[in-house]
Amino acid sequence: MRKSIDILGRKNKLIMMHRSADPDALGSAIALSRIFGGDIDITGGLNRSAKKMLGLFEMETAENPNFGDYNEIIVLDTASPAQLHTIPPEISLVIDHHLDAGEWEMAEHTLVDESAIACARIIKNIFETEGIDIDRDSALAMLFGMYTDSKGLSLATADFLRDFAELMDISGTDIGTINDILQDNGSDAVSTAVMKGLQRLKFGKYGKFTVAWTVVSVFESAVANALIHAGADIAFVGSEKDGDVRVIGRASERILRKGIHLGRFFSSLGYEMDGEGGGHDGAAGFTTVGDVEGILTICVSRFAKEIDK
Ligand SMILES: [Mn+2]
C-alpha cells in the first residue's frame, strides 16, 4: 500500500473539503496546495470567514471538476462523505480531525487524529515529519484554521499552542491580525497594510510603464494588488523579518501583453542573488536575505532593464 506522503507527492491532485468550507478546511487546503500542489475544489461553497480568507491568497480553485481528470483526490476536514458536494467514486486520502464514523470505505487512506483539534495542525505535522519547510503564506493559512477550530485558542492544549506559536513565527503574524481578518472587521487589517504601503510608496516611469514599490510587514499580495488597481504596471512589495526579505510582484494586463513574465524574472533574480523566486506571469514572488530597501531597488533597476530590451 502507498504511504500518504507518496499520494501527496503525486501530480494532478484535487483537494476537496466539506460543503460550506470553513477556515480550517480552506487553510488546510491552501497549505497543502501551496506545498504539494493541487486544485482546491470550491464547488461546495465557502463560509463567510473562508471567503474572506481566500481573497488573501492567490490560489488555483476549481468548480464542478471532473473527477476523472485527476490522479488523486484528497479530502480534508470532512467527517463523512455526505458532507462533500459530490462523493467521488475513489478517494486517495482523507485527512481529518473529527470522529471517524467509518464511512470512508472508498478511501485508500485515512489519516484521522481526533486529538489534533484542527485539520490544519495535522497538515502542519505532516510537513514537519517530512522535513518540509513551511512558507509564510502556508503558515498563515494554517493559523486561520487552527485559530478557528480551537475557538480562538480557548480549546488549545500546550502542544497545540507550541505548534501555533511556531506558525506565528514563520508567518510573522500576530493573533490580533488573525482575529481581525476572521471577524467582520476583517478588512481592517488588510486596509491598514494597504494604507501603510501607500504611505511609503515610491514609483517611477520607465518608458510607458509605471513601476511602484513599497514596504509593509504583512499582506504584501493585497498591497501589490491595490497598487495595480491604482494604475501601476508593475508593483513590488517587500517585507523583511529577521533579515529574511520577501518581495511580491504583480503586473498589469497592459505590461503582460509586452511578454513580461514576473515568475521568470524572479526566478532568474533568485538565481543571481542567492534567493528563491518564481510564480506566474502576472503574480510572483521572491525571497532572499538582506536589506529590503536595497533589494527592492535591485528589483526595480533590473526590471527597468527588462522593459528596455
Ligand atoms: Mn476543522
Residue 242's pLDDT is what? 82
The Å distance, Cα 61 to ligand 1 centre, comes to 19
176 and 304 in a common domain: no
Q: What angle do CA 265, 39, 235 make, to 5 degrees?
A: 30
152 and 225 in a common domain: no
- Give tens-digit pLDDT for 246-273: 999 999 999 999 889 999 999 999 888 8
202 and 174 in a common domain: no
Q: Could you tell me the residue range of the domain that residue 240 belongs to?
A: 194-308
Domain end call among 182, 205, 225? 182
Q: What angle do CA 136, 138, 139 make, to 5 degrees?
A: 65
**Is the predicted pLDDT of residue 22 greater than 90, yes or no?**
yes
Could you tell me if 76 and 32 are in contact, meaning their C-beta atoms sit under 8 angstroms apart? yes
The pTM of the full predicted model, rounded to 2 decimals, is 0.76
The Å distance, Cα 271 to ligand 1 centre, comes to 39
Report the half-sphere exposure of 111 (CA within 13 A, side-chain side).
21
Helix 175-182 with 186-199: angle, nearest 10 deg: 120
The Å distance, Cα 152 to ligand 1 centre, comes to 13
The Å distance, Cα 21 to ligand 1 centre, comes to 9
Residue 309's pLDDT is what? 67
231 and 109 in a common domain: no
Is residue 138 one of the residues assigned to a domain? yes
The Å distance, Cα 131 to ligand 1 centre, comes to 24
Q: Listing from the earlier edge strand, what are the strands of the sheet with 209-215?
A: 202-206, 209-215, 234-241, 244-251, 283-289, 276-279
Domain end call among 162, 182, 202? 182
The Å distance, Cα 94 to ligand 1 centre, comes to 13
The Å distance, Cα 24 to ligand 1 centre, comes to 5
The Å distance, Cα 69 to ligand 1 centre, comes to 27
**Closest by CA position to 249, among listed 106, 240, 264:** 264
Is residue 189 one of the residues assigned to a domain? no
The Å distance, Cα 23 to ligand 1 centre, comes to 8
Residue 264's pLDDT is what? 92
The Å distance, Cα 135 to ligand 1 centre, comes to 21
241 and 98 in a common domain: no
CATH number for the domain harbouring residue 133:
3.90.1640.10
The Å distance, Cα 41 to ligand 1 centre, comes to 16
C-alpha span between 265 and 156 (Å, rounded): 43
**Closest by CA position to 50, among listed 134, 133, 147, 126:** 147
The Å distance, Cα 3 to ligand 1 centre, comes to 23
Least confident of 59-63, 149-153, 293-297: 59-63
Which three three-digit cell numbers place residue 128? 514537519
Which three three-digit cell numbers place residue 94? 482523507
156 and 211 in a common domain: no
32 and 112 in a common domain: yes
C-alpha span between 206 and 179 (Å, rounded): 40
**Is the predicted pLDDT of residue 286 greater than 60, yes or no?**
yes
Higher-pLDDT residue of 243 and 229 is 229
C-alpha span between 209 and 190 (Å, rounded): 27
17 and 45 in a common domain: yes
Please, what is the average pLDDT of the chain? 92
Domain end call among 136, 152, 182? 182
176 and 38 in a common domain: yes
The Å distance, Cα 117 to ligand 1 centre, comes to 7
CB atoms near residue 82 (< 10 Å): 11
**Is the predicted pLDDT of residue 78 greater than 90, yes or no?**
yes
DSSP characters over 71-97: SEEEEES-SSGGGSSS--S-EEEEEE-
Is residue 81 one of the residues assigned to a domain? yes
For residue 267, give the amino acid letter.
S
86 and 106 in a common domain: yes
DSSP characters over 131-196: TPPPPHHHHHHHHHHHHHHTTTTTT--HHHHHHHHHHHHHHT--HHHHHHHHSTTHHHHHHHHHHH
Is residue 187 one of the residues assigned to a domain? no
The Å distance, Cα 264 to ligand 1 centre, comes to 37
Could you tell me if 46 and 27 are in contact, meaning their C-beta atoms sit under 8 angstroms apart? no
The Å distance, Cα 165 to ligand 1 centre, comes to 19
- Give tens-digit pLDDT for 118-174: 999 999 999 999 999 999 999 999 999 999 999 999 999 999 999 999 999 999 999
C-alpha span between 117 and 122 (Å, rounded): 9
Question: Average pLDDT for residues 8-32, to the nearest whole number?
Answer: 96
**Is the predicted pLDDT of residue 215 greater than 80, yes or no?**
yes
Number of compact structural domains in the chain: 2
227 and 142 in a common domain: no
**Is the predicted pLDDT of residue 181 greater than 90, yes or no?**
no
210 and 167 in a common domain: no
Residue 183's pLDDT is what? 79
CATH number for the domain harbouring residue 222:
3.10.310.40
Is residue 188 one of the residues assigned to a domain? no
Is residue 105 one of the residues assigned to a domain? yes
Per-residue pLDDT band at 176 (split at 50, 70, 90):
confident
Could you tell me if 163 and 117 are in contact, meaning their C-beta atoms sit under 8 angstroms apart? no
Helix 119-129 with 23-36: angle, nearest 10 deg: 20
**Is the predicted pLDDT of residue 177 greater than 80, yes or no?**
yes
> Which residues are registered as beta bridge partners of 295?
none
The Å distance, Cα 195 to ligand 1 centre, comes to 33
Is residue 77 one of the residues assigned to a domain? yes
